[in-house]
Amino acid sequence: MIDTHVTKYTPQVKHQIAETPHAYNSIVKPWMLGIPLARTDWVRNILEGRAEQDKILVKDGHATNGFVLLPDS
């Protein structure tokens, strides 16, 4: 797990990609669904109100396009 954190804060080459619906459905979504649930529990905990509620800067509860904005700390 420490390697994951080191990699996160190591300078990386960045690319900007225009994502199409086809690319999302055929590449991105399968990749995201392949991530072990234990690695993303923290996201669900925030979105479902079980964690870090005091840190939320903006929350839009729209059923389709809602979002939560927290500082990266």
pLDDT per position as a tens digit, 8-60: 888 988 899 899 999 999 999 999 999 999 999 999 999 999 999 999 999 99
Q: Is the confidence at residue 73, as pLDDT, over 80?
A: no
Instruction: Report how far residue 65's alpha carbon sits from residue 27's, in angstroms, rounded to the nearest whole number.
Output: 21
